Structure 1
Amino acid sequence: MTKTCLLMLCLVTTAGIAWGQSADTIYHGGEIVTIDDKNPTAEAVAIKGSKIIAVGKTAEVLRLKDDNTKLIHLGGRCLLPGFVDGHGHVFNCGLQAVSANLLPPPDHTVKDIPSLQAELKKWAATETSKKFKIILGFGYDDAQLKEQRHPTRHDLDEVSKDLPVYCIHQSGHLGACNTKALEIAGISAESKNPTGGVIRREMDGKTPDGVLEETIHLTALMKVMPKMGEAELDGLAQAGMKMYAAHGYTMAEEGRSIELIDKSWMRLAEKGKLLIDVISYPDISFSEKPFGLDTPWYAKNLKGGYRIAGVKISLDGSPQGKTAFLTQPYFMPPHGQPASFRGYPAMPVEDANRKIALCYEKGWQFLVHCNGDAAGDMMLGAIKDARAKFGPGNDRRDVMIHCQTVREDQLDLMKECGVIPSMFGMHCFYWGDWHRDSVLGAERAERISPARSALRRDMIFSQHHDAPVALPNAIRILSSVVTRRTRSGDILGASQCIPVEVALKSLTIWPAYHHYEEINRGSIEVGKLADFVVLDKNPHKVPILSLSDLKVKETIKDGKTIYVAE
Structure 2
Amino acid sequence: MKTSLFTLTALAASFPALADSPKMPFADTIYHNAQVITVNDKQPDANAVAILNGKILAVGDNEDVLKLASNSTHVVDLKGMTMIPGFIDAHGHVMNTGLQAVSANLLSPPDGPVTDIISLQEALRIWADKPTNKAQDFIIGFGYDDSQLKEQIHPTRFDLDAVSTEVPILIIHQSGHLAVLNSKALDMLGFNADSKNPPGGVIRRVPDSNEPNGVLEESAFFGALIPLFTQISPDENELLFQAGMELYAKYGYTTAQEGRTMSDSVKTMYDIAQKKKLLLDVVAYTDIQLGTDIMKPPYLSQSYNNGFRVGGVKLTLDGSPQGKTAWLTKPYLIPPEGQKAGYLGYPIMPDEEAEKYVGMAMENGWQLLTHANGDAAIDQYIRAVKNATKKYGEGERRFVAIHAQTAREDQVQSFKELNVMPSFFPMHTFYWGDWHAQSVLGDERAENISPTGWALDRDMIFTSHHDAPVAFPNSMRVYSATVNRITRSGRVLGKDQRVPSMTALKAQTIWAAYQHFEEKTKGSIETGKVADLVLLSDNPLKVNPMELADITVVSTIKDGEVIYTQQAAIADNSCAASRKCQALATHTFMIAGLIPHRH
Rounded to whole Å, the distance in 1 between the matches of 2:467 and 2:132 is 25
Aligned to 2:323: 321
1:146 aligns with 2:139: no
After superposition, the Cα gap between the structure-2 partners of 1:265 and 1:224, relative to the gap in structure 1 and judged at 3 Å, is: closer
State the match for 1:122 in structure 2. 126
The 8 Å contact of residues 536 and 550 in structure 1, kept in 2 or not, is answered as: yes
- How far apart, CA to CA, are the structure 2 residues paired with 1:62 and 1:380? 52
Change (3 A) 1:6 1:46: closer
In structure 1, which of residues 192, 214, 220 is the aligned counterpart of residue 196 of structure 2? Answer: 192
1:498 — aligned with what? 499
Report SS of the residue matched to 2:288: coil
SS at match of 1:563: strand
SS in 2 for 1:556: strand
Query: Residues 131 and 353 from structure 1, CA distance in 2 versus in 1: closer, same or farther, beyond 3 angstroms?
Result: farther
1:211 equivalent in alignment to 2:212: no
Spell out, residue by residue over 1:450-488, the C-alpha distance to the aligned partner (whole angstroms, 9 max, x if none): 001001111100000000000001100111111110000
Q: Does 1:70 align with 2:74?
A: yes
1: CA distance, partners of 2:554 / 2:526: 22
8 Å Cα contact 2:421-2:515 kept in structure 1: yes
State the alpha-carbon separation in 2 of the partners of residues 131 and 496 from structure 1. Answer: 50
Q: Which residue type is aligned with residue 313 of structure 1? A: L
Larger deviation, residues 176-185 vs 482-491 = 176-185
- 1:366 corresponds, among 357, 365, 368, to 368
| 1:382-393 equivalence runs, <5 A | 382-393=384-395
Question: Where does structure 1 differ by over 3 angstroms across 4 or more consecutive aligned residues?
Answer: 9-13, 126-132, 222-226
Q: Which residue of structure 2 lines up, in the alignment, with residue 482 of structure 1?
A: 483
User: What does residue 247 of structure 1 align with?
Assistant: 251
| SS class of match (2:333) | coil
TM-superposed CA distance for 1:227, in Å, is 2.6
User: Partner of 1:143: helix, strand, or coil?
Assistant: helix
Pick from 166, 170, 189 the counterpart of residue 170 of structure 2: 166
Specify the alignment match of 1:51 in structure 2: 55
Partner SS state of residue 34, structure 2 = strand
User: How many aligned residue pairs are there?
Assistant: 556
Residues 357-405 of structure 1: CA distance to partner in whole angstroms, max 9, x if unpaired? 1111111110000000110011110111111111113x11000000111
1:217-296 to 2 correspondence within 5 Å? Answer: 217-223=221-227, 227-285=231-289, 287=290, 289-296=291-298
- The answer to whether structure 1 residue 522 and structure 2 residue 532 are counterparts is no
Partners of 2:240 and 2:491 lie apart in 1 by: 37
AA at the equivalent of 1:186? G
For structure 1, which segment, 33-42 or 67-76, has the greater mean C-alpha deviation from structure 2 after superposition? 67-76
**Partners of 1:231 and 1:127 in 2: CA distance:** 21
Which amino acid in structure 2 is aligned with residue 366 of structure 1?
L
Cα contact 2:476–2:548 (8 A) shared by 1: yes
1:26 matched residue in structure 2: 30
Q: CA deviation at 1:222?
A: 3.5
> Closer, same or farther in 2 for the Cα pair 1:128/1:90, shift >3 Å?
farther
Match of 1:412 in 2: 413
Distance 1:438 1:514 in 2: 33
Alignment match, 2:444 = 443
1:264, CA displacement in angstroms?
2.2
Say if 1:391 and 1:550 are closer, same or farther in 2 by CA, change over 3 A: same
In structure 1, the residue corresponding to 2:46 is in which secondary structure? strand
Question: 1:164·1:224 contact (CA, 8 Å) conserved in 2?
Answer: no
Whether the 8 Å CA contact 2:11–2:57 is kept in 1: the answer is no
* Alpha carbons 1:11, 1:20 under 8 Å: kept: no
How far is 1:407 from its partner? 1.1
State which of 338, 341, 345 in structure 1 corresponds to 2:340. Answer: 338
Aligned-partner Cα distance in 2 for 1:10–1:80: 22
Distance verdict in 2 for CA 1:9–1:304, change over 3 Å: closer
Look up the match of 1:351.
353
Q: Deviations over 1:106-134 (max 9, x none)?
A: 00111111111111112112355345421
Write the distance in 2 (CA, Å) between the matches of 1:68 and 1:499.
41
Aligned to 1:108: 112
- Can you list the C-alpha shifts for 1:25-69, whole angstroms capped at 9, x where unaligned? 000112110000000100100000110000001111111111111
- Counterpart AA for 1:241: M
The alpha carbon displacement at 1:295 in A equals 3.2
Within 2, Cα distance between the matches of 1:226 and 1:461?
A: 35
Q: Percent of counterpart pairs with the same letter? A: 52
Higher mean C-alpha deviation, range 266-275 or range 322-331: 266-275
Q: Return the TM-score normalized by structure 1.
A: 0.96
Contact kept, 8 Å, 1:185 with 1:223, in 2: the verdict is no
Instruction: Kindly indicate whether the alpha-carbon contact (under 8 Å) linking 2:11 and 2:528 is maintained by their aligned counterparts in 1.
Output: no
Deviations 1:193-227 (A, max 9, x none): 11100001111241110000000011122356793
- For structure 1, which segment, 97-106 or 215-224, has the greater mean C-alpha deviation from structure 2 after superposition? 215-224
Name 2:468's counterpart in structure 1.
467
Q: Distance in 2 between matches of 1:131 and 1:533?
A: 40
Which residue number corresponds to residue 586 of structure 2? none
Partner SS, residue 87 of structure 1: coil
Residue in 1 that maps onto 2:314: 312
Report matched runs for 1:293-304 at 5 Å. Answer: 293-304=295-306
**What is the SS of the residue equivalent to 2:541?**
helix
Q: How has the CA–CA distance of structure 1 residues 9 and 163 changed in structure 2, closer, same or farther, with 3 Å as cutoff?
A: closer
Within the candidate set 375, 380, 383, 1:381 is matched to 383
Aligned residue for 1:511? 512
CA distance in 1, matches of 2:189, 2:49: 55
Quickly say closer, same or farther: Cα 1:239–1:170, change in 2 above 3 A. same
Structure 1 residues 407, 554: closer, same or farther in 2, change over 3 A?
same
Note if contact 2:156-2:214 (Cα within 8 Å) is conserved in structure 1. yes
Q: 1:362 to 1:493 in 2, by over 3 A?
A: same
Secondary structure in structure 2 of the residue aligned to 1:327: coil
Secondary structure of 1:512's aligned partner: helix
Quote the residue 2:65 is aligned against. Answer: 61
**1:512 positional shift:** 0.6
Mapped to 1, the partners of 2:113 and 2:102 lie a distance apart of 17
Q: Distance in 1 between matches of 2:131 and 2:296?
A: 39
2:301 and 2:215 map into 1 onto residues whose CA distance is: 40
Indicate how the Cα distance of structure 1 residues 178 and 526 shifts in structure 2: closer, same or farther if over 3 A, else same.
Answer: same
Q: Which residue of 2 aligns with 1:425?
A: 426
Cα distance, 1:273 vs structure 2 = 3.9
The one-letter amino acid of 2:160's match is L
In structure 2, the residue corresponding to 1:540 is in which secondary structure?
A: coil
Q: CA deviation at 1:260?
A: 3.1
Which of 43, 63, 88 matches 2:92? 88
RMSD (CA atoms): 1.7
Query: How far 1:350 sits from its partner (Å)?
Result: 1.2
2:172, 2:389 → 1: CA distance?
Answer: 38
> Which TM-score applies when normalising by structure 2?
0.91
Checking the alignment, whether the CA contact within 8 Å between 1:91 and 1:261 is kept in structure 2 is no
Deviation at 1:6, TM superposition (A): 9.6
1:251-295 superposed Cα distances (whole Å, 9 cap, x missing partner): 00000011332122112210124110000000013x3x3242133
SS at match of 1:498: coil
User: Residue deviations 1:85-124, cap 9 Å, x none?
Assistant: 0100000000000000000000011111111111111211
